[in-house]
Structure 1
């Protein structure tokens, strides 16, 4: 088996794709069937949050200590893995939703950054926490400009012309991706 296939199997990527792709497509399709354009945006954000949460599980291996002792360069693999999650999530949701492509790309970048930050902070078992919580908050709370803290918290549901949402997603993406590429997942030994 090639090293790439071994890496994908060890990170449980095939299983993640098997569940994430249909779930994202179905959720985005439900939003596309709605008549109001804001519903398409919020369901696209939820679909991206769900997809990055499921695919993010593969950002860490089953044994963090084993990953740390491997004599390979992890930074390029980590960066490529995050880029692949971004591409898959963006492509699936863009193919199904009626939300603008700019919103999908912005939200995908932000959610990938959140998943990367979650795996650094909490480990792979809790990688779902940050994307799912932010996605649910953005879907549940209407996009209103005041108070500004709430406006920033609901960045994923903001319209395409929202500079604050774009900056927030960019900061989340850069911070999370940088932390993950440099530091890697939180090292948690497997439960015996």
Structure 2
């Protein structure tokens, strides 16, 4: 248990969990206040998930890069578990909304978007580090949710706007699956790149 407490503190997970929960609650409250529809639209589901994932992006790296790469610890398993628990922490508050008058639904869209966006963030963490891992998912989502792109323009566009496609979209499910699997494998095996010593000291 002591190791778990130290891990949570070093990764700043409590702050990330609080931020993600507050963000989801705020979107839910705004929808409840200003919309008469019971189901929160897929654009808002995608945006909410992305903001929650952004809050957890910093937790993908610890304060000590050498410790995060030591051979004495089974880091690939822990990194994969970290992503799984992160996905659970993001999905759980959204599921709680299903018992209210404004709900994030359907469940398939919530799970699909969480898997794909978190996978893209994990891939970014493996390539450029946790500090910038949120950038690509956030930009992609913002471009997607702005109602300027036409999802019906063709198969290629369905891939671009996969996160706002309806639950039955095969292209969206495939895109999310590829991002999720690629991101989990890359992050679990490689972890985040080692940072310069000065940056590690500053984070600590």
Q: State TM-score, norm by structure 1.
A: 0.90
Quote the residue 2:144 is aligned against.
138
Quote the residue 1:71 is aligned against.
72
Quote the residue 2:166 is aligned against.
159
Structure 1 100/186 Cα, relative in aligned 2: closer, same or farther at 3 Å?
A: same
Secondary structure, aligned partner of 1:69: coil
Once the two structures are superposed, the pairs formed by residues 50-61 of structure 1 within 5 Å of their partners are 50-61=51-62
Q: Are 2:20 and 2:52, in contact at CA under 8 Å, matched by a contact in 1? A: yes
In the alignment of these two chains, the number of paired residues is 192
Give 1:147 deviation, angstroms.
3.6
The RMSD of aligned alpha carbons is 2.1
Distance in 2 of aligned mates of 1:86 and 1:178:
15
Quote the residue 2:105 is aligned against.
99
Larger CA deviation: 21-30 vs 123-132: 21-30
Higher gyration radius (CA): 2
Which of 175, 178, 186 is the equivalent residue of 2:185?
Answer: 178
Which of 101, 117, 126 is the equivalent residue of 2:123?
Answer: 117
Q: Are 2:119 and 2:183, in contact at CA under 8 Å, matched by a contact in 1? A: yes
Q: Give a deviation string over 1:39-70, Cα, whole Å, max 9, x none.
A: 62111110100111111210111232342236
Q: Give a deviation string over 1:130-187, Cα, whole Å, max 9, x none.
A: 2212221221144523243332111100011111000100010000001111111122
Q: Give a deviation string over 1:61-120, Cα, whole Å, max 9, x none.
A: 123234223621111211111001111111112323342111001101111101101111
Structure 1 73/9 Cα, relative in aligned 2: closer, same or farther at 3 Å?
A: same
Structure 1 187/131 Cα, relative in aligned 2: closer, same or farther at 3 Å?
A: same
Quote the residue 1:19 is aligned against.
19
Larger CA deviation: 20-29 vs 48-57: 20-29
Larger CA deviation: 132-141 vs 162-171: 132-141
Q: Are 2:94 and 2:104, in contact at CA under 8 Å, matched by a contact in 1? A: no
Structure 1 70/34 Cα, relative in aligned 2: closer, same or farther at 3 Å?
A: farther
Distance in 1 of aligned mates of 2:107 and 2:94:
9
Q: State TM-score, norm by structure 2.
A: 0.85
Quote the residue 2:48 is aligned against.
47
Which of 133, 150, 163 is the equivalent residue of 2:157?
Answer: 150
Q: Are 1:10 and 1:62, in contact at CA under 8 Å, matched by a contact in 2? A: yes
Q: Are 2:125 and 2:132, in contact at CA under 8 Å, matched by a contact in 1? A: yes
